[in-house]
Chains A and B, each alone.
Chain A
Amino acid sequence: DAKTTQPPSMDCAEGRAANLPCNHSTISGNEYVYWYRQIHSQGPQYIIHGLKNNETNEMASLIITEDRKSSTLILPHATLRDTAVYYCIADKANAGGTSYGKLTFGQGTILTVHP
């Protein structure tokens, strides 16, 4: 799986948009970009994923650059409950062999939302 690079930490004011960047310059054509977050003492929570088109769901939006070398996760109106570690992962999913069921987590970005 392609390596991803994220800033170690970011701050955001409550009610403002949180924009979390991720670099995946070596991503291959069959790798999707996934975002998960982990709130303290809980398991990781799936947020969103995409291949090359921008995606939006009830939690967030995902913007992927046209060359697919980077992406941004957007939490439109951050709340205190969004304080968590956010992981960006490039994943081949069930493409066979060593990709089955394996997510490769980096260190992620610690997002702190302030009142």
Chain B
Amino acid sequence: KAGVTQTPRYLIKTRGQQVTLSCSPISGHRSVSWYQQTPGQGLQFLFEYFSETQRNKGNFPGRFSGRQFSNSRSEMNVSTLELGDSALYLCASSQGQGGHQPQHFGDGTRLSIL
């Protein structure tokens, strides 16, 4: 079974631009979560989607948004990029219901803001 796939792996943007990151979950998984990882703050939860609906949201500004499509693929968007948005953005998928199942992570998109 293929794992979680994130594209692109690396991205360089400048301040003020916007960016869209993509995540393809494991086949059959309906929940997708997004995380931001920085050296200073560690891994922080951004939001989670299940069946195209956002079920949970972390403490990030509205510039960070996401969506999920009917095939469970997900995208996250960051608008008006700031230098502090430089980070590794990780996506994780799970079945999303029916008890405890682990999340499976992709290898992330490394976003650098110049």
Contacts and interface: CB of A to CB of B under 8 A. Distances in A.
Interface of A: 32, 34, 41-46, 49, 87, 91, 93-94, 97-107
Given A42-B107, A100-B48, A34 B31 contact: no
A100 B55 contact: yes
A87 B43 CA distance: 11
Contacts of A100: 31, 48, 50, 55-56, 96
B65 to A, nearest CB: 16
A98 B96 CA distance: 14
Nearest 10 A/B pairs, CB to CB: A101-B48, A43-B105, A105-B43, A46-B102, A101-B33, A100-B56, A100-B55, A93-B100, A102-B45, A43-B107
A105 B43 CA distance: 6
B100 A101 contact: no
Is chain A's binding surface mostly helix, strand, loop or mixed?
loop
Contact of B56 (A32, A46, A102, A105): A102
A101 B94 CA distance: 8
Nearest to A105: B43
B18 to A, nearest CB: 24
A107 B42 contact: yes
26 contacts: A42-B108, A43-B105, A43-B107, A44-B90, A44-B92, A45-B105, A46-B102, A46-B103, A46-B104, A49-B100, A93-B100, A94-B96, A94-B98, A94-B99, A97-B56, A100-B50, A100-B96, A101-B48, A101-B49, A102-B33, A102-B56, A103-B35, A103-B43, A103-B103, A105-B43, A106-B42
Contacts of A34: 102
A49 B107 contact: no
B101 interface: yes
A78 B49 CA distance: 36
Nearest to B58: A102
Contacts of B104: 46
Nearest to A48: B102
